[in-house]
């Protein structure tokens, strides 16, 4: 389905990013996975292609995407997945903490999209998919910087969609609720410490945040991304697609 397409996935060595990368590769795409830790990227194995890149650093984004392009051709599918999730209690949030969240979650998507978009337009086809969150379409407690950044991702995709309606590139955001990844495991550990719960009770509490009462498999997010890259998706543009077990 995606033979001849070059896909680039940021935060592609673990979790949702890795699941999407593998799905794209299985569909025939040549897939570059990006992240800051070479050992994590290399552990993903073939057929994925590791590229060390820090999405918060403009020079790193330019050189990383240039290297991937030289090796596998222009990027036609961008999965802007890299991000940062930390608890934050307002107003006890430093400006540094605020900026770290926006830089990791929003600036990275801006920088990578800006870098690959000209080639997509020149090729006459492209897909930009930002991995936002249910926090991108609703408020969440103790997460103001994260919520602001994830709302920003949705806004970025909608603005770019409006800018390029007459061109063959689409821009969408996927907005999952709690997904079964290492980040959620870390959240369970924080709940254990905060509320004095054992692991089973803390896990149940986190799972209960999803309306259907269970964690979402990362493969569900991957299938949605694959659908947005496949045939019949040309008119799906500027959307914030919730994958959230019934959340509204």
d(CA 156, CA 174): 13
Residue with tokens 């299985």: 26
Q: How far is CA 241 from the centre of its chain?
A: 13
DSSP code for 168: S
CB within 8 Å of 134: residues ≥ 6 apart:
140, 175, 176, 177, 242, 244, 247
d(CA 210, CA 80): 23
Per the annotation, the verdict on 178 as an active-site residue is no
d(CA 101, CA 93): 11
The whole-angstrom separation of Cα 53 and Cα 34 is 6
Q: Which among 110, 146, 171, 178 is annotated as catalytic?
A: 146
Specify which residues 10 forms β-bridges with. Answer: 34
For residue 240, count other CB atoms closer than 10 A to its CB: 20
Backbone dihedral angles phi then psi of residue 7, each to the nearest 5 degrees: -110, 140
- Positions annotated as catalytic residues are 146
């Amino acid at each position: 389905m995606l033979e001849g397409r070059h896909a680039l996935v940021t935060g592609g060595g673990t979790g949702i990013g890795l699941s999407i990368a593998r799905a794209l590769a299985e569909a025939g795409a040549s897939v570059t996975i990006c992240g800051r830790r070479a050992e994590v990227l290399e552990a993903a194995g073939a057929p994925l292609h590791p590229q060390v890149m820090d999405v918060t650093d403009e020079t790193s984004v330019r050189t990383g995407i240039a290297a991937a392009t030289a090796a596998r051709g222009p990027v036609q599918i961008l999965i802007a997945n890299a991000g940062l999730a930390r608890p934050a209690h307002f107003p006890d949030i430093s400006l540094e903490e605020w900026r770290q969240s926006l830089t990791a979650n929003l600036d990275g998507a801006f920088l990578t999209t800006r870098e690959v978009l000209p080639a997509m337009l020149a090729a006459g086809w492209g897909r930009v998919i930002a991995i936002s969150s249910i926090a991108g379409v609703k408020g969440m407690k103790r997460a103001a910087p994260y919520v602001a950044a994830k709302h920003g991702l949705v806004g970025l995709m909608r603005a770019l969609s409006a800018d390029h309606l007459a061109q063959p590139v689409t821009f969408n955001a996927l907005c999952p609720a709690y997904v079964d990844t290492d980040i959620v495991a870390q959240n369970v550990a924080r709940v254990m410490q905060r509320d004095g719960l054992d692991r089973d009770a803390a896990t149940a509490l986190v799972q209960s945040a999803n309306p259907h009462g269970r964690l979402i498999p990362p493969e569900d997010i991957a299938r949605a991304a694959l659908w947005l890259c496949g045939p019949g998706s040309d008119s799906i543009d500027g959307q914030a697609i919730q994958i959230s077990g019934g959340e509204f």
